[in-house]
Amino acid sequence: MNRKALIAVLGIAAVSVLAAAPSAASAWAPASSATIHPGAQVFTNGAQCTSNFVFQDGSNVYLGQAAHCSGTGSNTDTDGCTSGSLPLGTPVDVTGASKSGTLVYNSWLLMQSRHEADANTCAFNDLALIKLDPADVANVNPSVPGFGGPTGVGSWGGAGSTVYTYGYSELRGGVAALSPKQGLVVQNTGGGWSHDVYTLTPGIPGDSGSGFLNASGSAIGILSTVQLAPLAGSNGVGDLPSEIAYMHANAFGFSGVNLVPGTEPFNASIVGAVRKVAGL
């Protein structure tokens, strides 16, 4: 298969570079005034999700979201190797951005193009990237509201280890104090591809795609599902290191895309996080 055909299969369109992305912490917008950041609401064909982290390559800036946020099936269609999805190039509205972003990577579409056969990978690989318009890059900060960080990409602990997340479902009516949450790992499943987590309160529709941090502030996961069984009320969280590794190994043109650390120091206090986002 020639290069042109491969690009067509993966659905990756060439995009002209209109502005260089920041490469140093000081180049990002201040966290206190940035309009685009992890946890910002994103809308794909009207479906609302929560963005997770900021990613960057040499010239582009991306927001992460769950791949299923662009799904075209029902809420029970969660197997990325068989479930339908909107195509790459689909516009995505990002709260705080002046222009729509563009869906440029979707793990579901990539797995289908590769005829992925591993059941755990198909079930839990749930990462997508939204390329921000260059006009909006100056308004981005990669820090997680309230908690700060991420400090980088990290690893999961065992059962009982502490995690932190920031969900921004529109069902909460804009009450910022309800967004930061602390939780515990219940179990690691799916051959390391998924992790069951309890948080207070649990993630709800609209929180899908939100990022998870470990006790050191490292980015470790993406909210994928609300579990009904066997652990009712828990959340299924995809393994971010595995999802990034899969993208690097298999998505043409995305091997250089990496998570951007936050400019704000990590804060492990849930009370402090709630007070900060509530402006107290």
**What is the model's pLDDT at position 172?**
75
Structural element, H or E, at residue 93 = strand 91-94
pLDDT (tens digit, 9 = 90+) per residue, 189-226? Answer: 999 999 999 988 777 788 999 999 999 999 999 999 76
Tokens read off for 205: 């529709």
Instruction: Please tell me what DSSP assigns to residue 112.
Output: H
Average pLDDT over residues 3-21: 38
Residue 67 and residue 52 in contact, taking contact as beta carbons nearer than 8 Å: no
Residue 102 and residue 249 in contact, taking contact as beta carbons nearer than 8 Å: no
Rg (CA), the chain: 17
Residue 10 and residue 168 in contact, taking contact as beta carbons nearer than 8 Å: no
pLDDT (tens digit, 9 = 90+) per residue, 45-55? Answer: 999 999 999 99
Domains annotated on the chain, with CATH: 36-141+243-259 (2.40.10.10), 162-239+265-277 (2.40.10.10)
Q: Determine the Cα–Cα distance for residues 99 and 134; give it in Å rounded to an integer.
A: 9
DSSP letters, 32-66, are TT-SB-TT-EEEETTEEEE---EEE-SS-EEEEE-
pLDDT (tens digit, 9 = 90+) per residue, 67-97? Answer: 999 999 887 788 999 999 999 999 999 999 9
Q: Tell me the three state secondary structure of residue 222.
A: strand
Residue 201 and residue 235 in contact, taking contact as beta carbons nearer than 8 Å: no
Residue 139 and residue 34 in contact, taking contact as beta carbons nearer than 8 Å: yes
Tokens read off for 252: 């043409």
